[in-house]
């Protein structure tokens, strides 16, 4: 059966798969009439999808070449996943809501789609845009479900932030692997449209694909990494500054395990762009130390966790205040995503799973953001994992962020004067 014969249907197999997942109290499914390509993956499938997207011939040829290369490749086993072999012919590779004529009003929209809009909290005017109501701007259909939070919540939060200050601010784009990947190109588009002037990227690789658009939009680009070669790559793609963090750092540590004291001067010597240093800095002494190593700026994270403004539960802040420099550990190294976190029951569980050679899914579930969210919001300090650097031993009380920064600067200045008097 040719892929070009796909018909709009309500796919019973897809519906059954959703039902088989069981009940999830925060979720819902929507039974919307869709057009499916026949199950299976072949060159016909690739041609069909390319035609549906209206792609030029050169793009189709590029996709076919990639598909043929993929057919010759062996499936990797480095992730040590405990799953059965993937049957690539037992899946659908194209599904889209059935195309409808231009609507005169939302009253003509499929009621199931309308209910989905309402569950997602999409404003009426945006519903008209997404549904293709006559007179409304045209957008891609896949924006409905995949990117509504980008198009609404992210932009709204940026507007709130701009209304709170007339000072420059930076936005971080996370490039690390995610269970539900996002399209950072959409974030970049919104950042440029909203006039954000500084963007920091962080992840396993320098963002060559995003750097071009950010620079074209007049954005100052900072890339955060953990090694000299990564810093050099960031500089080569046009980063205006590079942040490097040592092994003491909370959160992503990489696999090089180089300490801040050794890493910062090495990167300063290797680069021509400004270097921002971090890892283990929580007071004026660490701040001044990094400046003396050649850094032109300092990044501080763990100390900010106990700021009054930080939206985590008071019980979690108190637990961090009571922690020492010995109360952190590195987890998720077995899945190539090493992170330094505060030691609690869940962190120990993640480490135990790794010691047992558990698969990716088991580890990611244990360290998942849903558990951390409960930790942050409800104060169950054992529920999830939280990134935390070894500098936590220097954090002793909850204070306004303004006072934390002022204290660091004052401490650094007092120490500078003391050294000058020696």
| pLDDT for the residue 360 | 83
Q: Is the pLDDT reported for residue 222 higher than 70?
A: yes
Alpha helix positions (H), 200-304 = 208-216, 228-236, 260-270, 284-292
Alpha-carbon separation of residue 266 from 222, 271, 278 (angstroms): 18, 9, 13
Q: Is the pLDDT reported for residue 17 higher than 90?
A: no
Same-domain pairing of 284 and 383: yes
Indicate the SS3 state at residue 12.
helix
What tokens appear for 371 in the block? 């558990």
Q: Which of 53-67, 244-258, 290-304 is least confident?
A: 53-67
Same-domain pairing of 216 and 323: no
Same-domain pairing of 329 and 233: yes
Same-domain pairing of 66 and 84: yes
Q: By residue range, what is the domain housing residue 16?
A: 1-99
Q: Is the pLDDT reported for residue 378 higher than 50?
A: yes
Task: Name the strands in the sheet holding 339-342, side by side, starting at the edge strand that comes first in the sequence.
Answer: 251-252, 339-342, 328-331
| pLDDT for the residue 142 | 37
Give the pLDDT mean for 335-353.
94
| pLDDT for the residue 113 | 72
What tokens appear for 138 in the block? 């045209």
Same-domain pairing of 112 and 179: no
Give the pLDDT mean for 87-104.
76
| pLDDT for the residue 133 | 55
Most confidently modeled range among 103-107, 187-191, 349-353? 349-353
Which is higher by pLDDT, 341 or 120? 341
Q: What is the dihedral of CA 158, 163, 164, 167, to 10 degrees?
A: 80
With a CB cutoff of 8 Å and minimum separation 6, the contacts of 72 are: none
| pLDDT for the residue 115 | 73
Distance from C-alpha of 46 to C-alpha of 42, rounded to nearest angstrom: 7
What tokens appear for 230 in the block? 């990564």
Same-domain pairing of 233 and 135: no
Tell me: the pLDDT tens digits for 173-197? 888 766 566 778 888 999 999 999 9
pLDDT cut 70: percent of the chain above it: 80
| Boundary residue ending a domain (185, 202, 224) | 224
Same-domain pairing of 337 and 363: yes
Give the pLDDT mean for 148-170.
79
Same-domain pairing of 126 and 162: no
Task: Enter the DSSP assignment of 294.
Answer: T
Domain tally for the chain?
Answer: 4
Which is higher by pLDDT, 135 or 306? 306
* CA nearest neighbour of 235 among 263, 194, 276: 276
| pLDDT for the residue 183 | 76
Q: How far is CA 52 from the centre of its chain?
A: 29
Bridge partners (DSSP) of residue 8 are: 35
Same-domain pairing of 285 and 350: yes
Mean pLDDT of the chain: 83
Give the pLDDT mean for 397-417.
95
Task: Enter the DSSP assignment of 323.
Answer: -
Tell me: the pLDDT tens digits for 238-258? 999 999 999 999 999 989 999
Same-domain pairing of 111 and 39: no
Domain containing residue 171: CATH number:
3.40.50
Tell me: the pLDDT tens digits for 64-95? 999 999 999 888 777 777 778 888 898 888 88
Q: Is the pLDDT reported for residue 138 higher than 70?
A: no
DSSP class per residue in 87-138: -TTSS---EEEPP-PPBSSGGGS-HHHHHHHHHHT--HHHHHHHHTBTTSPP
pLDDT cut 90: percent of the chain above it: 52
* CA nearest neighbour of 243 among 201, 292, 190, 284: 201
Q: Is the pLDDT reported for residue 306 higher than 80?
A: yes
| Boundary residue ending a domain (80, 99, 118) | 99
Same-domain pairing of 314 and 361: yes
Same-domain pairing of 366 and 383: yes
Q: Is the pLDDT reported for residue 143 higher than 60?
A: no
| pLDDT for the residue 123 | 56
| Boundary residue ending a domain (201, 224, 247) | 224
Domain containing residue 342: CATH number:
3.20.20.70
Element (H, E) at 14: helix 12-20
């Amino acid at each position: 059966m040719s892929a070009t014969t796909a018909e709009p249907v309500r796919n019973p197999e897809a519906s059954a798969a959703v039902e088989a997942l069981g009940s999830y109290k925060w979720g819902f499914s929507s039974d919307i009439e869709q057009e499916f390509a026949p199950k299976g993956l072949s060159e016909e499938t690739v041609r069909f999808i390319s035609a549906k997207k209206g792609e030029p011939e050169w793009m189709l040829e590029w996709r076919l070449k990639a598909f043929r290369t993929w057919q010759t490749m062996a499936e990797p086993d480095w992730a040590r996943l405990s799953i059965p072999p993937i049957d690539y012919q037992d899946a659908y590779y194209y599904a889209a809501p059935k195309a409808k004529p231009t609507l005169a009003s939302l009253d003509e929209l499929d009621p199931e789609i309308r209910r989905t809009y309402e569950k997602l909290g999409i404003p009426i005017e945006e519903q008209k845009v997404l549904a293709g109501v006559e007179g409304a701007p045209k957008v891609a259909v896949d924006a409905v479900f995949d990117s509504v939070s980008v198009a609404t919540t992210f932009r709204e939060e940026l507007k709130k932030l701009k209304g709170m200050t007339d000072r420059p601010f930076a936005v971080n784009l996370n490039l690390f692997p995610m269970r539900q990947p996002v399209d950072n190109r959409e974030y970049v588009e919104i950042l440029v449209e909203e006039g954000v002037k500084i963007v920091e990227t962080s992840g396993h690789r320098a963002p060559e694909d995003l750097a071009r658009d950010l620079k074209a939009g007049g954005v100052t680009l900072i890339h955060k990494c953990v090694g000299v070669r990564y810093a050099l790559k960031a500089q080569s793609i046009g980063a205006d500054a590079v942040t490097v963090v040592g092994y003491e750092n909370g959160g992503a540590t990489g696999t090089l395990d180089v300490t801040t004291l050794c890493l910062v001067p090495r990167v300063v010597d290797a680069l021509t762009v400004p270097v921002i240093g971090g890892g283990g800095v929580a007071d004026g002494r660490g701040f001044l130390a990094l400046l003396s190593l050649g850094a032109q700026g300092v990044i501080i994270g763990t100390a900010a966790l106990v700021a009054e403004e930080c939206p985590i539960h008071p019980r979690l802040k108190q637990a961090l205040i009571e922690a020492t420099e010995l109360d952190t550990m590195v987890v998720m190294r077995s899945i190539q995503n090493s992170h330094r976190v505060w030691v609690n029951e869940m962190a120990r569980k993640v480490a135990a799973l790794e010691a047992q050679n558990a698969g990716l899914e088991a580890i990611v579930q244990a360290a998942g953001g849903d558990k951390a969210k409960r930790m942050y919001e409800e104060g169950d300090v054992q529920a999830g994992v939280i990134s935390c650097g070894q500098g936590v031993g220097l954090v002793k009380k909850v204070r306004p962020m303004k006072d934390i920064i002022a204290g660091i600067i004052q401490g650094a200045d007092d120490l500078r004067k003391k050294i000058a008097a020696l």
